[in-house]
Structure 1
């Protein structure tokens, strides 16, 4: 049976370079993994007043996380941290108190940015937040990817210059999910 992986892309942009990276990574994965992308665009801003009657989008998200063997976070870096849309996902799925969907999930973080340090600070912040939620985040390898021409080919694949490195990352994620799930 295929392992279920939920992909959460922190960017809502239709032309997101992180969504392109996520799609390229999925193409590197073995057939033993089934990927589903979480929809974040219809998730309202988290409000504690809604805990007793969560919005349908939050219920859907929580069910996706709970059905997943692992979660792959692909995030941009906004203002030296994670995007609000990604924090919103984490907040919704961790509520109501005592009913978090995150605890014990296998997770991995990767991201790309045009800047020279990729998404290093966003990933550091995300790792801290996820560990507080009980997500078992893959410790290595780190992957702070600078987005530049050739990273993703015209047909959506990982470019030749980065393929071996990102295949190693994906292989490590597969092993991590097998170990934790």
Structure 2
């Protein structure tokens, strides 16, 4: 998707739009490496990335019920705070 939306050359739809990354993984470190690769790719595409807070959601298989509902109140609070920070950051543009 990154590549397709950045073509044809000089007509990228990404340029200048604010971005952020939340990675989710079944492992304990929450997709740390993938998160940073995506961030690097977006910076290359001229997407200003929110620096803080960062979001790595580990052990995701334990956080949701069989219907996809979030079970963990701490995670819910973290994600709400993250989205509030993103909204605040986007409003600086």
Global fold match (TM > 0.5)? yes
Matches within 5 A, 1:1-181: 89-146=1-58, 147-149=60-62, 151-153=63-65, 154=67, 156-157=69-70, 159-180=72-93
CA RMSD in angstroms comes to: 1.6
The verdict on how the C-alpha distance between 1:112 and 1:177 changes in structure 2, with shifts beyond 3 A counting, is same
1:103-125 Cα distance to aligned partner (Å, 9 max, x none): 00011100210111111101111
The verdict on how the C-alpha distance between 1:158 and 1:130 changes in structure 2, with shifts beyond 3 A counting, is farther
In 1, Cα distance between equivalents of 2:71 and 2:8: 39
What is the SS of the residue equivalent to 1:100? coil
Unaligned runs of 5+ in 2: none
Q: Could you tell me how far 1:162 is from its partner in structure 2?
A: 1.2
1:82-135 Cα distance to aligned partner (Å, 9 max, x none): xxxxxxx00001000111111000111002101111111011111111001100
In 1, Cα distance between equivalents of 2:36 and 2:57: 14
In 2, Cα distance between equivalents of 1:155 and 1:128: 30
Q: Which has the higher strand share?
A: 1
In 2, Cα distance between equivalents of 1:158 and 1:130: 31
Unaligned runs of 5+ in 1: 1-88
The verdict on how the C-alpha distance between 1:116 and 1:157 changes in structure 2, with shifts beyond 3 A counting, is closer
In 2, Cα distance between equivalents of 1:167 and 1:152: 16
Q: Could you tell me how far 1:179 is from its partner in structure 2?
A: 1.6
